[in-house]
Amino acid sequence: MKENMKSQTIQKNMTDVVNNQFNLDDKSIVTDVIVILDESGSMKSMGLEPIQSTNVFFTEQQKYQTQDDGTKATFVTFNTQINRVIDNQKLSEIKEIKESDYNPMGGTALNDAVCSTIKSKLDSDKPDNVVLVIITDGEENSSHIYSTEDTRNMINLVEKKHSWKVIFMGANIDVFAEGHKININPNRCAQYNQTFSGDLLSLFRTTSYQIEDYRRARSEGNVDVDLNISTNNRMSGFYTDPGTTTYKNKSGRFLFPTHSIPLSRTTYMDSSKHQDEHTPLNTPLNTPLNTPLDTPLDTPLNTPLNTPLNTPLDT
C-alpha cells in the first residue's frame, strides 16, 4: 500500500511540474472561430471556390484539435440579407457545408453582417477570445441597421475589451484602406484576386494555418502572442511577443506555413474567345510572334538561317 501511495505521489508531482511549466490548467485559453462570407451577386463569378475554401478552412481547424476543448464556430453569409449557416456550434461537430447553401445574389450589407454577428456573440455565454474572419469582394452598399461608424466601434470594442482578432480579406477594393475605416489592424488585412481561380483558396489555407498556430499558442497559456496575416508575412515569419522574443512552444518556434499561389489558373470566362490575344506559354518572351520558335533571336527575319550573322545580305 505504501508503494502504491508513493507511486501516486510521484505521479502527482510530475503532473504538477508539467502543468506549471506549460501553464496547461490555469492559463489555457480556448479561442472560438467565426467566418463571415460575402454572398452578394458579384461573388457569383468565383463559382464554388468561396464555399469550398470555407469548408477547407473549418476542416483544417478541426484537424488542429487533438481533443474536444469546447471551441465554438459560427459561419455567416451575407448579401442584402444575413444568413446564419452555423450558429455558435462546437467546432468538432461541424459537418461539410453544402454547396447549395451558397447562392450569390443581391447587394453587400457588410456593416449589418459584421455588427449583428459580433452582437450575437457578445450576448452568448462566451463573448471573449475569438478570431473573426471577414471575406468580401466589394464595398458596403446595402446595410439598413448599422453604419460604418458602428462597425468601427464594435471592432474596436471586441479587440480591446474581449481579446478578439479580426481578419479582413478583400478583392476589388483597397483592403487596407477599407480595413482602416472599420479599425482593422493592417497586419490582419489581405488582398486576393477574384479573377484568379485558386487565389482565395490559397489565402484561406495560409490564414487557416496561422490561426491554428495562434489558437495553439493561446491554448498553451501564451496570452501575449499576436496574429499576423499581412501580405508581407504570407510566405514566412514568426509570431513574436510584443516585447522582444520569438514565441516558442513545446515543439519549437511557430513558423508561418508557406502555400504558394497556384501557377496555373483559369477564369470563368470563355477562354476560346480570347485565344488570339495570347502568346503560347512556351514561347520565349523576346521571340517575334510570327517567327518560328527555332529561329535564333538575333537572326534577321528575311535572312537564310545558314547565313552567318555578320555576312552582308547581298554577299
In a domain? residue 150? yes
- SS3 string of the chain? CHHHHHHHHHHHHHHHHHHHHHCCCCCCCCCEEEEEEECCHHHHHHCCHHHHHHHHHHHHHHHHCCCCCCCEEEEEEECCCEEEEEEEEEHHHCCCCCHHHCCCCCCCCHHHHHHHHHHHHHCCCCCCCEEEEEEECCCCCCCCCCCHHHHHHHHHHHHHHCCEEEEEEECCCCHHHHHHHCCCCHHHEEECCCCCCCHHHHHHHHHHHHHHHHHHHHHCCCCCCCCCCCHHHCCCCECECCCCCECEECCEECECCCCCCCCCCCCCCCHHHHHHHCCCCCCCCCCCCCCCCCCCCCCCCCCCCCCCCCCCCCC
Question: What CA–CA distance (Å, rounded) separates 295 from 287?
Answer: 9
Domain encompassing residue 244: 32-253
In a domain? residue 9? no
In a domain? residue 271? no
159 Cβ partners below 8 Å, 6+ apart? Answer: 165, 166, 183, 185
In a domain? residue 48? yes
Number of domains in the chain: 1
- Amino acid sitting at position 315: T
In a domain? residue 163? yes
Q: What is the pLDDT along the chain (315 residues), one digit of tens a residue?
A: 555 555 555 555 544 433 443 334 446 789 999 999 999 999 999 999 999 999 999 999 998 876 778 899 999 999 999 999 999 999 999 999 999 999 999 999 999 999 999 999 999 999 999 999 999 999 999 999 999 999 999 999 999 999 999 999 999 999 999 999 999 999 999 999 999 999 999 999 999 999 999 999 998 888 889 999 854 444 333 333 333 333 333 333 333 333 333 322 233 333 333 333 333 444 454 444 454 555 555 545 555 556 565 555 554
User: CA geometry: angle at 155 spanning 149 and 161, to 5°?
Assistant: 125
Which residue is it, cell 443581391? 106
pTM equals 0.69
In a domain? residue 130? yes
Q: From 79, 70, 57, 188, select the one nearest 124 (Cα to Cα).
A: 70
Q: Kindly report the CATH number assigned to the domain that includes residue 45.
A: 3.40.50.410
C-alpha cell at 124: 452568448
Residue 77: the pLDDT is 97
Which residue is it, cell 496570452? 223
181 Cβ partners below 8 Å, 6+ apart? Answer: 148, 152
In a domain? residue 193? yes
In a domain? residue 46? yes
Question: What CA–CA distance (Å, rounded) separates 26 from 16?
Answer: 12
Residue 294: the pLDDT is 55
